[in-house]
Amino acid sequence: MNAPTPPSSLTPVGPRINSHRLWEHVCAMARIGATAKGGVNRQALTAEDTQGKTLLLQWASRRGYQTSIDPIGNLFIRRPGRNPGLSPVLTGSHLDSQPTGGRFDGVYGVLAGFEVLETLDDHGMETERPIELVVWMNEEGSRFPPPTMGSAVAAGALPLADALAIKDVSGIDVESALKAQVAELPVLEKRPLGMSGFAYIEAHIEQGPILENQACDVGIVTGIQGLHAYEIQLLGAEAHAGTTPLRHRKDALVAATTLIGYLRAAIDDPEDILRFTVGRLEVYPGSPNTVPGRVTFNIDLRHPDPDSLLRAGETILRLCAGEIEGCPVSAKVLLRSTPITFDDRVVATVRKAASGRAMKFLDIVSGATHDAKYTAQHIPTGMIFVPCEKGISHNEAENAREVDVAAGAQVLCDAMLAIMSEPL
Ligand code: HGY
Ligand code: MN
Ligand code: MN
């Protein structure tokens, strides 16, 4: 762990953010899509997601910021700089949530970024470069897999047409859901697809227990582990539950459970570093008295080491082929992203901003994925983590303390200003 160094004259200590206003914004956003257990359900391109974006855009228009949207629905809120010709310093995250999501995952980074814009306004600070706050579309990938869809398309890692064609379980595709959302949002300037900027820094809750366990104020994120997303399908034959002997069945669900057992055993990692999750499984036709004729399930696979991830992915594709208990199996690769390391100059700027505020911090690799994975392919990128209670996330009990929320936003503000004044 890095010991805090006293603020040095070299570390520009920027304006103080307004932690009360930031917390108010977090609470206001948490009321949109609020669930009975204290979380949120604001899945991508739902009415709740649209309400959240509309609220943010209302706050932005009150400040006179320029707003725009790209063809995959990523939102951009721009605070002009002295020199409009310079590429902007970017920050951002996502407003969409998991179905049983928390009040901080993604939304914290959007609101911390918005707080930086408002803080600069309050202090009458004109920056050399423009600043853009990005709200990436469908980071969670819960309704429309894969995750980080909006940033992947903007980065050119996922073709726009492929993304627009992806359907949710009720058969609605991204294109029609996005059209419906845009029709509801305030009028936005259209902007082309693309990912460019001078630097990008994203604030996010850690979604793990390390910072809290080590009583750190912030985490200096040095990279993100790799992620593969697969869709597996087994085809059986619908049959009558009462009249069809078991030995005559092609039961896609029994075959799927057998296959998942094989996969779990085949990728077993004694060090428990590999992450293997089957989070969604659809049974067709889904009737209690009809033998399932088709099962589709998703695999989320992660590892910080690229070779280990590739080996596990190859094992999955090898096993998800041919037939299982008479049911043909097919596999589709939805996403393959390798582990990434952030730009060490941006990481150093974030670290300096944290030490400039005499904060306790440590370097950390992100187990969760983030849109910063894709910005890092085109823009010098870094991230700031803040602790969350017991590391709980993707759960309605997700929680963070106001003091930590404020600390992360303060480091974000200082780091963004430092990057402007001490070019990379
Ligand atoms: O899945 C993830 O890691 C992110 O929280 N969506
Ligand atoms: Mn997130
Ligand atoms: Mn998430």
| Confidence category of residue 68, pLDDT binned at 50, 70, 90 | very high
pLDDT at 7: 40
Residue 266 Cα to ligand 3 midpoint, Å, equals 27
| Tokens found for residue 46 | 């739902």
Average of per-residue pLDDT values in the chain: 96
Q: Which pLDDT band, with edges at 50, 70 and 90, does 422 fall under?
A: confident
Residue 327 neighbours by CB under 8 Å, 6+ apart: 234, 235, 236, 250, 251, 252, 255, 256
Please give the full DSSP string across 257-309, using - where no structure is assigned: HHHHHHHHHHT--TT--SEEEEEEEEEES--TTEE--EEEEEEEEEESSHHHH
Q: Among 372, 365, 369, which Cα is nearest to 302's?
A: 369
Tens-place pLDDT, residues 322-349? 999 999 999 999 999 999 999 999 999 9
- Could you identify the atom of ligand 1 that is nearest to the CA of residue 148? 6
Which pLDDT value is given to residue 13? 67
Q: Ligand 3 centroid to 197 CA: how many Å? A: 24
Q: Given the CA of residue 139, which atom of ligand 1 is nearest to it?
A: 6
Asked whether 72 and 38 are in contact (CB, 8 A), the reply is: no
pLDDT value for 127? 96
Contact (Cβ atoms closer than 8 angstroms) between residue 379 and residue 200: yes
Residues 112-161: pLDDT tens digits? 999 999 999 999 999 999 999 999 999 999 999 999 999 999 999 999 99
Task: Report the alpha-carbon distance of residue 389 to residue 206 in Å, rounded.
Answer: 10
> Domains plus CATH for the chain?
7-224+340-419 (3.40.630.10), 226-337 (3.30.70.360)
Q: What are phi and psi of 305, to 5 degrees?
A: -100, 125
Residue 36: other Cβ atoms inside 10 A: 6
Q: What is the 3-state secondary structure (H, E, C) of 304-366?
A: CCHHHHHHHHHHHHHHCCCEECCEEEEEEEEEEECCEECCHHHHHHHHHHHHHCCCCEEEEEE
Closest atom, ligand 1, to C-alpha of 105: 5
> Does the pLDDT value for residue 421 go beyond 90?
no
pLDDT of residue 10: 44
- Residues annotated in the binding site for Zn(2+), as ranges? 94, 105, 140, 204, 394
CA torsion through residues 236, 241, 243, 244, sign: positive
Report residue 283's pLDDT band, with 50, 70 and 90 as the boundaries: very high
Handedness of CA 409, 410, 415, 418 (dihedral sign): positive
Strands 131-135 and 218-224, bridge-based pairing: unpaired
pLDDT tens-place string over residues 8-31: 444 556 899 999 999 999 999 999
User: How far away, in angstroms, is 98 Cα from ligand 3 center?
Assistant: 7
Q: What is the largest CA-CA distance in the chain?
A: 82
Q: What is the mean pLDDT of residues 105-113?
A: 98
Rounded Cα distance, 349 and 365, in Å: 17
Mean pLDDT of the region 348-377: 97
Ligand number, closest to the Cα atom of 138? 1
Q: What is the pLDDT of residue 423?
A: 66
- 167, pLDDT greater than 60: yes
Alpha carbon of 142 to ligand 1 centroid (Å): 9
Distance 140 CA to ligand 1 centre (A): 6
Give CA–CA dist 215/201, Å, rounded: 23
Q: pLDDT digit string (tens) for 225-266?
A: 999 999 999 999 999 999 999 999 999 999 999 999 999 999
- Kindly state the tokens that stand for 158: 């996922």
Who lines ligand 1 at CB under 6 A?
105, 139-140, 147, 368-369
What distance in Å separates the CA atoms of residue 314 and residue 307, rounded to the nearest whole number?
10
Ligand nearest to the CA of 202: 2
**Which residues does the annotation place in the binding site?**
94, 105, 140, 204, 394
Kindly state the percentage of the chain with pLDDT values over 70.
Answer: 96
Q: Looking at ligand 1, which residue's alpha carbon is closest to its atom 5?
A: 368
